[in-house]
Structure 1
C-alpha cells in the first residue's frame, strides 16, 4: 500500500527515501558501536561515529540529500556505462552478440547519466517512482511467496529450489541458460534478443540526448548588452546604453532596448533593462508604461531576450498602441536580463524599475516623450502597475501618472499564493515566488516552506523561463508523474513568507484613478479574491472602476479581440485627453 501511494506522489517518495537513508546510516553506526564480538579499532570507531553524524545530518537536512541524489545517480550511470563499455570491448571469450549488446548498453548508460545531471528534477521524479514501484513489487512478491508457501504446505508440494520428496534435484535452469532439449536456432534467437534490446536502449538514449540539447538551445541567452559597466551613474533613471531593436516591432515604429539605473525597494542601487517602442514620425507622444506579466525568474527570462518579446509578457496589442500615437516603455524588471535576484511579485522593486525606465527613455536620442503617462500591467505586471501608482508621487514626482490599467493583477498575494496548489501548473508560479522571496528576504527559506522531496523540482523550474521549450518538458513530466506536486510543507500565508506577501499587496492610492479588469473564468487569479481586493480599495477611497468580464480567462482577457482591451484603450484615451475619472467606485 505504501509503495502504491509513493508511486503517485513522487515528491513524498523522495522525502521518505532521504529519511530512510538517514535512518539507515544512524542504525549502521550504532550497530558498529554496540554489537558484541567486533574488535573496535580507532578507525572503526571513527567510521561508526561518522556514520551516525552523517545520518543525523541527513535526517535534519533531507532536502540536501535529495539534491545530491540526482548527482549520485548521474555519476553512477556514467561510471557503470564506462566500465561496462571497456569490459565489453576488451573481455575475451564472449560471443559477438554479447559484446555488441554490452557495448551499446554501456554507451546508453553514459548518455542517460549525462541527461540525469542536466535534468535533475526529472531524474529525481523517475527515481521516486521507481522507489515506490520497488516497494510495491516487493510487497506483492512477499504476499505471493507467503501464499505459495501456505499452498505448498497444504498440498505437501516442495517450494521452488527445494529437493523433491523423492530426493531428486529441483529444476534450476534459468532463462539465460540453454536447456538441453532447446533447438539451437531458438538459442541463437534468444541470445540476439539482448542485442535488439540494447539497440532500442541506445536509440532511446540518443533521441533523449538530441531532444535535450535542442530544448536547451531554444532557451534565451543573456548577451553583453545587459552587463553593468564599471562606472554606473548613482542617480536612478539614468540611461546607461541603448541600441536599435527590431524583433516583433510593428510597421512604422522604431524601437530600442535600453539599460538604465534604478533602485531596489530598500534604496540600494540596481541596473535594469527594457524596451522602448515609438511611432516613427519623430513627434512627441504620451507614454504607456507597460508592466509585463510573468515570464520567469531566471536572468534569461527578460522579454527583451525572448523570441516573442511582447507576447511573452502578454502584450498582444502593441500594433494598436502605436497606431494611436502612443509610445510604449516596458521594463524587463530587475534581475531579468540583468543581475538578480529577480524580485518576483515584490511590488516596490518592480514599480521603481518601470518608473525609472520612463525616466531613462526621456534621455534617449531619436524619440520624444510627453509628460502624459498611463501605467498598464497584466497579472504580475498588474500588481506592479498598482504599485507604480502607489509610489510615483514620492519616488518619481517627475513621472506623474494620469491613470492605471490593471488587468487580472496579482493583488491579494496571500490568497493568490495559497491558491496555487489548486491550480494546474501552479507549482511553476510557486517556484518563482519562493525563489524571488527567498532571494530578497533572508528570513524566507526553502527549508521552512518547501518539502524536501520537492526542493529540486522547485529550484529547477525557477531556472527555466515560462515560455521556453525546456519548461514545457519539465511541466509535462511533473503533470504526468504527479498531477502537479505538492511543494509546500506549511501554509505559505503564515510565518515570514506570509508577512512578506501581505507587505507586498498593492496599497490604496486615492490620487490616481484605476481601471481594474478581471475575467470571471480566470483559474489563476480567482474572481472572488479580486472583487474583494477591489472592494477594499473602494473602501480606502481609491478612484477605481472595477469591471468584470464573463467567460474570459487569464490570457483571453488581454487578447486583441477582448472587450477588456477595448475598454482599456477607451479609458486610457480619456485620461490622456484630460477627462476626469469618476470619483465613485463602480463594478461592472
Structure 2
C-alpha cells in the first residue's frame, strides 16, 4: 500500500463507524444537480440588488468570535463576486487582524484546504467549529503577525473542483478587505498563499490577476501541491477500482456539476446507486467524503466508465485546469510540488512552471522528491513563508527560470 493510501485510510478510520456499506437510493435523489443545504444564517444570502454591485463591493459585515485567536479581532465580510458563467454571486471572507495593529499592515489572503461539499465546511463557518484542519499553513500565517483573510473560495454552492471560481472569489475578497474602512488596510501590501485545494484557488487567482482584477496588486504568491490538471487527476482517482481517494474525485464531479449545471449533467450518467451516493455526499466535509468513498468505485456509481471521456466533461475539466489556462501571473510566484506526488501529479505543474518561465514570469519553482501529498506541505511551507516575508519587506524576488 502506498503512503498516500495509508494516509487517506487513516484519515477515514474514525469516520468509518458512521458509514453504512451499500448506499440505498434516497427518495429525494434525482438526476438534477445535488446542491448543498443552505446555512440558516441570513448573512450568507444574496441581496436583491447584487447585480448592481461591482466585483469586490461590500454587501455586509459583522464581527465574529475571537476565542480561537486571542489577541486578534475577527471580521467577516460578504461581498460581490462572479461565478464561472459571469453572473454575480455573494462570497464571504474572514479577516483575522491583531488588536491595535497599525494601519496598512501586510495582508495575506490564505486559501485554506476545503475539500468539501457542505456549506458548514466553508472556512467562515468551520474555522469556529474545528472542521478546518489546515494545521500547517494557517497557524504559520497567523504567527507572522500579518492580517490574514481566509475566503470561502468554493463559493455559495460549495462547488468543490471549480478552480477558476476560486480564483475570482479570492481576488474579489482582497478587493473587499481593502475597501472596508474599519480594517484600515486600504494601502496594505497583499500576498496570496495556499496548498492543495487552497493552492489551486491561489494559483488561479495569480493567473487571473492580470485580466480579472488588474487593480489588485500582489507583492507575492506562494502556491503548493496544486491540482493543475483535473482531467489527469480524475483518471487517476476515478478509473481505479475502490481507490482510497475515490470520494474526493466523485465530490469534485459533484462540485463541478453545481457550477456548470447546463454543461455537465453528471446526474444523467449515474446509476441509481450513484445518484444515492451523490445525495449522501452533498452536505459532507472532507473526512466523511474520504471515508464513504472507500466503499465505492466508478463502475458502481456510473452507467459507463466513459463518463470521464465525455467531451462535455472534459471541456469543463480543462476549463478548470491550470495547465490549460493561457494566462500568466505578473506577481512574483513561489511554487512547490512533490516530484512523485500521487494525488496531484508533478508533470502538469512542471509544465505550467515551464510555460510561465517562457512567458517571462518571476517564478521560483521547487520540486521536492516527496510522494506523500501533505508531507510536501510541511517541507515546503517554511521556504514559502520566508519567500512571502521577503516580498512584504520589498526585497527583489528571486527566480530560477
TM range (shorter): 0.7 to 0.9
Tell me, what secondary structure is at the counterpart of 1:566? helix
Alignment match, 2:145: 325
Aligned to 1:497, which of 313, 331, 339? 313
Aligned to 1:252, which of 71, 78, 98? 71
Give yes or no for contact 1:516–1:546 (8 Å, CA) kept in 2: yes
What is the CA–CA distance in structure 2 between the aligned matches of 1:505 and 1:483, rounded to whole Å?
23
Q: Show CA shifts across 1:379-432 (max 9, x none).
A: 222122122112223322331112221110111121112111348442322232
Give yes or no for contact 1:285–1:325 (8 Å, CA) kept in 2: no
Residues 226 and 357 (structure 1 numbering): CA distance in 2 closer, same or farther, change over 3 Å?
same
Question: What are the ranges of 5 or more consecutive residues in structure 2 without an aligned counterpart?
Answer: 1-17, 26-36
Tell me, what secondary structure is at the counterpart of 2:60? strand
Tell me, what secondary structure is at the counterpart of 2:395? coil
Give yes or no for contact 1:292–1:314 (8 Å, CA) kept in 2: yes
Q: Show CA shifts across 1:325-375 (max 9, x none).
A: 31111111353xx4x2x3333233221211111221223354222341111
Alignment match, 1:314: 134
Aligned to 1:395, which of 201, 212, 226? 212
Aligned to 2:258, which of 439, 454, 459? 439
Residues 584 and 551 (structure 1 numbering): CA distance in 2 closer, same or farther, change over 3 Å?
closer
Count residues in correspondence.
Answer: 362
Q: In the alignment, does 2:119 pair up with 1:299?
A: yes
Higher alpha-carbon deviation: 346-355 or 539-548: 539-548
Alignment match, 1:33: none
What is the CA–CA distance in structure 2 between the aligned matches of 1:452 and 1:483, rounded to whole Å?
14
Aligned to 1:343, which of 152, 159, 166? 159
Aligned to 1:124, which of 12, 24, 30? 24
Higher alpha-carbon Rg: 1
Shift of 1:532: 3.8
Bigger relative contact order (CA 8 A; separation at least 6): 2
Q: In the alignment, does 2:317 pair up with 1:417?
A: no
What is the CA–CA distance in structure 1 between the aligned matches of 2:210 and 2:65, rounded to whole Å?
34
Give yes or no for contact 2:114–2:122 (8 Å, CA) kept in 1: no
What is the CA–CA distance in structure 2 between the aligned matches of 1:550 and 1:220, rounded to whole Å?
42
RMSD, aligned CA: 3.1
Give yes or no for contact 1:262–1:352 (8 Å, CA) kept in 2: yes
Alignment match, 2:362: 543
Alignment match, 2:46: 228
Report the TM-score when normalising by structure 1.
Answer: 0.55
Alignment match, 1:382: 199
What is the CA–CA distance in structure 2 between the aligned matches of 1:248 and 1:551, rounded to whole Å?
36
More helix by share: 1
What is the CA–CA distance in structure 2 between the aligned matches of 1:286 and 1:410, rounded to whole Å?
28
Alignment match, 2:29: none
What is the CA–CA distance in structure 1 between the aligned matches of 2:367 and 2:40, rounded to whole Å?
39
Alignment match, 2:381: 565
Shift of 1:276: 0.4
